[in-house]
């Protein structure tokens, strides 16, 4: 059974999600809230496996909620469900440490699949998000986000993905995602080439 907690600032979205998920034999909705400040308390109480979280929440930003959850000893997986597929939303969800992103404009079936994939440890991003990120590939190192620079420095220092995840308070999946896109932006194929590029003054 996958225990799921729902957090969205629209009550109607919450009800729709709850109805959708409760009809699935392998999913148990353990709680739901429109108030972002309630999420930590609900996580403590219900110990969900996956949180389906909107970036727009009453009382607090979704990214702040993700960052707070990542600081917990055994954080639940976080699937961001958003209406926005623009670069800034995608980037902020990733940088905060989300395990995946699903769009409200996609079919309900895709949301169900995304929950199961995130629970299984896969990194989930819709095609629109991948296209946006890939479109930013093969740029100069000057195009890197502050988070990507942090990851690059740690790759260059010889840290593995799990070590980087622990250092930055991110999930292994998020680090893997950052490393892949870092390589694509730098035009390198592996960690050694990335480290050499870092050593040669970037």
Report how far residue 29's alpha carbon sits from residue 50's, in angstroms, rounded to the nearest whole number. Answer: 10
Using the predicted structure, report yes or no on whether residue 113 has a pLDDT greater than 70.
yes
pLDDT at 93: 82
Q: Are residues 108 and 122 in the same domain?
A: yes
Q: Are residues 92 and 146 in the same domain?
A: no
pLDDT digits (tens, 9 = 90+) for 47-56: 999 999 998 8
pLDDT at 190: 82
Using the predicted structure, report yes or no on whether residue 96 has a pLDDT greater than 70.
yes
C-alpha 170, offset from chain centre:
9
Range among 4-8, 59-63, 100-104, 137-141 rated most confident: 4-8
> Nearest CA to 28 among 118, 120, 115, 125?
115
Q: Are residues 88 and 186 in the same domain?
A: no
Q: How confident is the model at residue 79 (pLDDT cuts 50, 70, 90)?
A: very high
Q: How confident is the model at residue 138 (pLDDT cuts 50, 70, 90)?
A: very low
Choose the final residue of a domain: 85, 102, 131: 131
pLDDT at 133: 58
CATH number reported for the structural domain that contains residue 147 in this entry: 1.10.10.10
pLDDT at 132: 61
Q: Which domain holds residue 126?
A: 2-131
Report how far residue 6's alpha carbon sits from residue 32's, in angstroms, rounded to the nearest whole number. Answer: 4
pTM of the shown model: 0.70
Residues in CB range of 65: below 8 A, 6 or more apart = 7, 36, 39, 40, 53, 57
pLDDT at 142: 60
Q: Are residues 58 and 22 in the same domain?
A: yes
Sort residue 129 into left (φ over 0), alpha (ψ -120 to 50) or beta.
alpha
Mean pLDDT, rounded, for 15-36:
95
Q: Are residues 7 and 102 in the same domain?
A: yes
Q: How confident is the model at residue 92 (pLDDT cuts 50, 70, 90)?
A: confident
């Amino acid at each position: 059974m996958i225990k799921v907690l729902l957090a969205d600032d629209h009550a109607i979205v919450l009800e729709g999600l709850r109805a959708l998920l409760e009809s699935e034999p392998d999913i148990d909705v353990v709680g739901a809230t429109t108030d972002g400040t309630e999420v930590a308390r609900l996580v403590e109480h219900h110990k969900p496996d996956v949180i389906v979280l909107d970036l727009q929440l009453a009382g607090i930003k979704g990214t702040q909620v993700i960052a707070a959850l990542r600081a917990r000893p055994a954080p639940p997986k976080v699937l961001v469900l958003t209406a926005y597929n623009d670069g800034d939303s995608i980037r902020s969800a990733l940088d905060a440490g989300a395990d995946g992103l699903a769009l409200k404009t996609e079919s309900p079936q895709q949301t169900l699949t995304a929950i199961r994939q995130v629970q299984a440890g896969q990194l989930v991003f819709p095609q629109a998000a991948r296209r946006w990120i890939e479109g930013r590939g093969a740029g100069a190192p000057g195009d890197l986000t502050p988070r990507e620079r942090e990851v690059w420095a740690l790759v260059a220092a010889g840290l593995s993905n799990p070590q980087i995840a622990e250092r930055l308070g991110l999930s292994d999946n998020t680090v893997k995602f950052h490393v892949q896109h870092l390589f694509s932006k730098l035009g390198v194929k592996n960690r050694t080439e990335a480290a050499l590029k870092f050593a040669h003054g970037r």
